[in-house]
Amino acid sequence: MGDHLVVNGDLFEFWFEYRSVIPRHLFPTLEALAALRRAGVRLTLTGGNHDRWGGPFWREQLRAEFHPDAVELELAGHRALVTHGDGVAGGELGARLLHAVTRWRPTAAAFRALHPDWGYALVRRLSPRLAGRRDPAIIEGAANAQAEWARKQLQQRRDLELLVMGHTHSPQLDQVEPGRWYLNPGAFADGGRYAVVTSGGPRLERFEG
C-alpha cells in the first residue's frame, strides 16, 4: 500500500458541503477513505467539475487536504502540479457552463439555501444534461488539448517534474523530457484505471478485481 493517495477531482457525481449534512449514499466511500487515514495514508483531494464545493469537512472529519482547484505537491520526491483539468480544453456547452457555474460564488450561496433533499433532486435532474455527450471525437480533442497545455506548462515551469490531470478519463503518460512527465491516470470508474508515482517516476496501472 502506498503512503499518499491523491484523488484528482470527480470522486463523486456531485458533492456539496452543507454545515451539518452529508449525503448518506456517499457514506461507504467516505468510510473507506477514513479507514485509509486511520492506516496512516495521507489523503489529498482536488475539486473537479462535479465536486468542487468542498470545505472544512475534509480537514475536520477526515484529516484530509482538500483543494478546490490546483495544488502543488511533492510526490515520491517529484515536484508535481495536480489539477483536475476542466476548463483547460474547450468541451461542449454543458461542460463549459458547469465549469463557469461551479466557480461563481453566488451559485454556492443559492444552492445552500435549498433543503438538501431538494438540492440533490435538482442535481439528479440536471446532471445528465450538463455533463454532455461522451463523444469519442470530443473526448480525444479535449485530451489532446490537455496534453498540449501540460507540455507548455512544463516548458515554462522548469521547477516542475510532473503535471497530473484528469477530467477526460483518457489515460496518458508522456515523458516530455528525461525525468519530466505529463500524466493522466484515466478514471477508476472506467476499467479500474489509476497511476502510481515512485522515485523512478510515474506509471499507469489497471486494477484487476
Q: pLDDT value at position 19? A: 86
Q: Per this entry, what is the length of the chain?
A: 209
CATH number of 4-206: 3.60.21
Alpha helices in 132-181 (DSSP H): 136-156
Boundaries of every domain in the chain: 4-206
**pTM listed for this prediction:** 0.89
CA 38, CA 21: separation in Å to the nearest integer?
Answer: 23
* CB-side neighbour CA atoms (13 Å) of 86: 26
Which neighbouring-strand residues pair with 183? 164, 173
| pLDDT at residue 199 in the model | 96
DSSP state of 113: T
Residue 92: its pLDDT value, please?
Answer: 59
pLDDT of 108: 86
pLDDT averaged over 10-residue windows placed end to end, the chain, 209 residues: 93 89 92 97 93 91 94 98 83 64 81 91 78 72 92 95 94 96 95 96 92
Q: What is the DSSP letter of 120?
A: H
Q: Give the pLDDT confidence score for residue 136 in this predicted structure.
A: 82
Q: Specify the pLDDT at position 142.
A: 87
